[in-house]
Amino acid sequence: MNNAPRLKRIDTRLPGVCVIEPVVHGDARGYFFESFHAEKYKAIGIEANFVQSNVSRSAQGVLRGLHYQWPNPQGKLVSVLEGEVYDVAVDIRRGSPTFGQWEAAMLTAGNHRQLWIPEGFAHGFCVVSDAATFMYQCTALYDPKTDSGVRWNDAAIGIDWPVAEPLLSAKDEKAPFLADVPKDKLPTFAD
């Protein structure tokens, strides 16, 4: 019987969105963990073929999001390499029983947690430390023609961001409210 620690999946109230706690091996020299292992992630219900990996660095108070692609959606496995972020997923799938609902997780370089955001969800994060280095592993290539967004402070969604006046890009400042996004520009829920 193998008593070795195992990769842990923590489901959220949004079906498919989950927090992942990797097995971290550490000692006085530092630490090591697998940031992705296809078979181990498949065993906890995440089958992903990552085709693009991105790293961004942001200052405290920067809020990026809420971003998605449609068509050509991306699933994202996100994590923090340095600092701390408040990471958010929003269900934007037309017809979903959880449409417009959100879930958040605190991802830090210290807790090594990851958030899995399946296709059909918008994603955003806010930096709460002095700075943060953030990594995205994506299941589809970035496609500027299908790049879309939803307003970060949409009252109908009601995300409880940890910053009142975030630093935003011009694109994110002008993103539409979810109710104003044309129906054909949103993914459709499939059981």
Active site residues: 67, 136
List per-residue pLDDT tens for the chain, 191 residues long: 566 678 999 999 999 999 999 999 999 999 999 999 999 999 999 999 999 999 999 999 999 999 999 999 999 999 999 999 999 999 999 999 999 999 999 999 999 999 999 999 999 999 999 999 999 999 999 999 999 999 999 999 999 999 989 999 999 999 999 999 999 999 999 86
- For the chain, domain boundaries: 8-22+44-180
Domain 8-22+44-180 has CATH 3.10.180.10: no
List the beta bridge partners of residue 69: 147
- Its pTM stands at 0.95
